[in-house]
């Protein structure tokens, strides 16, 4: 059930926000904010993303600097791009055009050190950094039930409470140390990657054992092997739907960053490296542009014979 968005009162001025990056997650966030009555300015390099934002009622901006133009004193920029390099490029344009006291929500999954460096640069511009990675996928971003992992100063967190609550009913206040949101997201995504590799592996095995993949997935969904990402992705994979919602390269990146964070503190676990290697190998095999559900396809290719024996399952 969708969560009711935060809507300005009938006599209130429209709440304003800028969003750079209106792809699957960012676009869903834009639609939610527009529906709630926010004045949203959007910049994206993809024409399709801009068209979607315009249909939702957003103003399409020509650049990141244009997107933040006219934000109120307590206004905010939400950055929803892919990686640290893209985030840095956005902020190089936007930060000089923003007013001291405004905020930037850093939503991409990036290394904690990059988050800290970006936050330090924002501070030099007099801007507040809110470390706010997200999880849950576009549908949950659209209905306001995605997870937001927030690390920010108490002042910045309080100033942007209305925006954060408009975006999600599931806000986790991690700490006041910027970078801890990124750390939490990497821990989460490493487990998501491990779970997804495991789900694809056991379904490929089930097929080789002569079992129906769909019936096996039904059992797992109601049993001890269930995981949210495994159920979500493998349902699509069994149906042959590999249209990218979350590209293979995203969990390839996220698991690699998680391993780097682990290595930085001298931690080595048994499963994370195997999961990261699996995503890297699947991407290198030509599946980089497909949905990460295509892990099942890749494992079938590594172990041919199972699904061909049970057409239509």
Mean pLDDT for 174-196 is 98
Instruction: Supply the pLDDT for residue 5.
Output: 61
What per-residue confidence (pLDDT) applies to 14? 62
Judge contact between 242 and 232, C-beta under 8 A.
no
16-178 folds as Rossmann fold (3.40.50)
Instruction: Tell me how far apart the alpha carbons of residues 142 and 99 are, in angstroms, rounded to a whole number.
Output: 29
- pLDDT mean over 52-60: 98
* Res. 245 pLDDT band, cuts 50 70 90: confident
**Sequence-ordered list of residues with C-beta below 8 angstroms from that of 249, at least 6 positions apart, any chain:** 283, 288, 289
What is the rounded average pLDDT for all residues in the chain?
Answer: 93
Q: What is the 3-state secondary structure (H, E, C) of 71-103?
A: CCCCCEEEECCCCHHHHHHHHHHHHHHCCCCCE
> Given 3.40.50.720, 1.10.1040.10, 3.40.50.12500, 1.25.40.10, which CATH number is that of 184-301?
1.10.1040.10
Beta bridge partners of 287: none
Mean pLDDT of 138-159: 96
Q: How much is the average pLDDT of 210-222? A: 97
Residue 244 is predicted with a pLDDT of: 87
Q: For 226-238, write each residue's pLDDT tens digit.
A: 999 999 999 999 9
pTM for the full predicted model: 0.90
Residues annotated as part of the active site: 185
Q: What residues contact 52, with CB distance under 8 A and at least 6 apart?
A: 22, 27, 30, 31
**pLDDT tens digit sequence for 252-280:** 999 999 999 999 999 999 999 999 999 99
Based on the number of CB atoms within 10 Å of its own CB, is 251 exposed (0-12), middle (13-18) or buried (19 or more)? Answer: buried
Domain ranges of the chain: 16-178, 184-301
Q: What are phi and psi for residue 125, nearest 5 degrees?
A: -90, 0
pLDDT above 50 (res 10): no
> Would you call 211 helix, strand, or coil by DSSP?
coil
């Amino acid at each position: 059930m969708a969560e009711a968005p935060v809507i300005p009162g009938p006599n209130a001025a429209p709440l304003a926000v800028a969003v750079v990056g209106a792809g699957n997650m960012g676009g869903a966030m834009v639609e939610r904010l527009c529906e709630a009555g926010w004045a949203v300015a959007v910049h994206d390099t993809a024409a399709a993303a801009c068209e979607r934002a315009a249909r939702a009622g957003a103003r399409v901006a020509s650049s990141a600097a244009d997107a933040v133009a006219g934000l109120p004193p307590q206004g905010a920029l939400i950055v929803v791009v892919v990686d640290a390099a893209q985030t840095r490029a956005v902020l190089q344009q936007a930060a000089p055009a923003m007013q001291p006291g405004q905020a930037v929500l850093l939503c991409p999954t990036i290394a904690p050190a990059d988050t800290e460096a970006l936050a330090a640069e924002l501070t030099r511009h007099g801007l507040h950094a809110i470390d706010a990675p997200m999880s849950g996928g576009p549908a949950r971003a659209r209905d306001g039930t995605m997870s937001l992992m927030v690390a920010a100063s108490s002042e910045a967190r309080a100033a942007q409470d209305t925006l954060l609550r408009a975006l999600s009913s599931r806000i986790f206040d991690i700490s006041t140390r910027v970078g801890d949101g990124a750390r939490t997201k990497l821990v989460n995504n490493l487990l998501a990657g491990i779970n997804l590799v495991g789900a694809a592996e056991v379904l490929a095995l089930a097929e080789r054992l002569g079992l129906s993949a769909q019936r096996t997935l039904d059992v797992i969904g109601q049993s001890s092997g269930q995981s949210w990402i495994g159920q979500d992705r493998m349902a699509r994979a069994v149906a042959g739907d590999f249209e990218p919602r979350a590209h293979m390269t995203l969990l390839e990146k996220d698991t690699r960053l998680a391993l780097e964070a682990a290595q930085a503190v001298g931690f080595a676990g048994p499963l994370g490296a195997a999961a990261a290697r699996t995503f890297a190998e699947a991407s290198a095999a030509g599946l980089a542009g497909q949905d990460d559900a295509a892990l099942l396809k890749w494992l079938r290719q590594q172990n041919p014979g199972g699904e061909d024996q049970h057409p239509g399952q």
